Amino acid sequence: MSEDLHRRAEQLKIDSMAGGISAPDLQWLGAHLEGCPPCAQRARAIERAVRTLRSVTVRVDPALLRTTRMKVYVRAEDLNRRGARRLLLWTSCATSWVWMAACALFLWHGFERLASQMGIPNWLWQAGFGLWWALPLLIVGIVLSMQQPAVNNERDLTAGLD
């Protein structure tokens, strides 16, 4: 038999012990284990190892557990707040872009009329109109750049647990 089939059988056995596999994979595994004594022996060894690992009890200091739970809770709340703020910011910007798109023709004529009355060159009022369109994007960029960066590594999450 191919070495790949033995590796597949071993991986399927591990996956089935960890959380389950699909019905066709389970059928294939059963058929393979019936016809391959070395894989069947390996599967029994995997079952024993998993049973042994599940029977091991790990004692954790209650203070460490409380501190860890609190840090996870605080971090989750922080992420929820940031998500809500960003949603509000993007919704505001999208609303302003839709409003500006609906009013673009009126604004163009308004900028043009105002510029002609004040003697402003075409390039200047057209640049002003472009800036008016880019303003929401600039605001989003500024606000997002001022926010604190997200936690990037595990060391930041576990700081203070010692």
pLDDT tens column, 65-93: 999 999 999 999 988 888 888 888 788 87
Contact 132, 107 (CB under 8 A): yes
Mean pLDDT (the chain, rounded): 83
Q: Encoding tokens for residue 121?
A: 């060159």
Return the pLDDT at 108: 85
CA–CA dist 100, 133 (Å, integer):
7
Q: Which of 1-15, 27-41, 137-151 has the lowest mean pLDDT?
A: 137-151
Return the pLDDT at 72: 94
Confidence grade of residue 148 (pLDDT, cut at 50, 70, 90): low
CA–CA dist 93, 84 (Å, integer):
14
Q: Encoding tokens for residue 90?
A: 């993007």
CA–CA dist 70, 79 (Å, integer):
14
Return the pLDDT at 90: 82
119: left (phi over 0), alpha (psi -120 to 50) or beta: left
pLDDT at residue 150 above 70?
Answer: no
Residue with tokens 């091991």: 56
pLDDT at residue 154 above 90?
Answer: no
pLDDT by residue (tens digit) across 104-113? 888 888 888 9
Taking each helix axis from N to C end, the angle separating 23-35 and 37-55, rounded to the nearest 10 degrees, works out to: 120
Q: Under 8 Å CB-to-CB from 67, ≥6 apart: which residues?
A: 160, 161
Return the pLDDT at 41: 93
DSSP state of 153: S
